Amino acid sequence: MPVPLFAVLSQVAVRVVTSPQIWQVLGIAAVVTFGGSFVLETFFEEVVATISALWWVVGLIVILLISRIALPIYIQERAKTQRAQLGKKCHDDE
């Protein structure tokens, strides 16, 4: 029996939304992007390259934070599933 994906995803979503680190990263990215838009006319190529690079970094940080939150939840759900299977198997053997 596979790990219930919905259970893992719903717990991850709750923890991501309530994580202050995610909001800090997104806030910094928004400020950098908004501030960069004022300078966009003067240094068009440099700003676009900088914003693009920053969004890659922000994306990686967000992915790392989400995976840091998601991995323990996945392991916990997997352990529950395995215990349930083991209990069912032991019960069937009797």
- Summarize pLDDT for 31-76 with one digit per residue, the tens: 766 666 665 556 666 667 777 777 777 777 777 777 777 778 888 8
Q: Is the pLDDT of residue 79 over 80?
A: yes
Q: What is the pTM of this model?
A: 0.41
Query: Are 70 and 14 contacting, i.e. CB atoms less than 8 angstroms apart?
Result: no
pLDDT at 37: 62
pLDDT at 38: 61
Helices (H), 2-94: 5-18, 20-39, 44-93
Query: Are 73 and 11 contacting, i.e. CB atoms less than 8 angstroms apart?
Result: yes
Query: Are 25 and 65 contacting, i.e. CB atoms less than 8 angstroms apart?
Result: yes
Distance CA 81, CA 64 (A): 25
Query: Are 54 and 29 contacting, i.e. CB atoms less than 8 angstroms apart?
Result: yes
pLDDT tens digits, one per residue of 19-31: 777 777 777 777 7
Going from N- to C-terminal start, the domains of the chain cover 22-93
DSSP-assigned letter for residue 4: -
Q: What is the mean pLDDT of residues 74-94?
A: 76
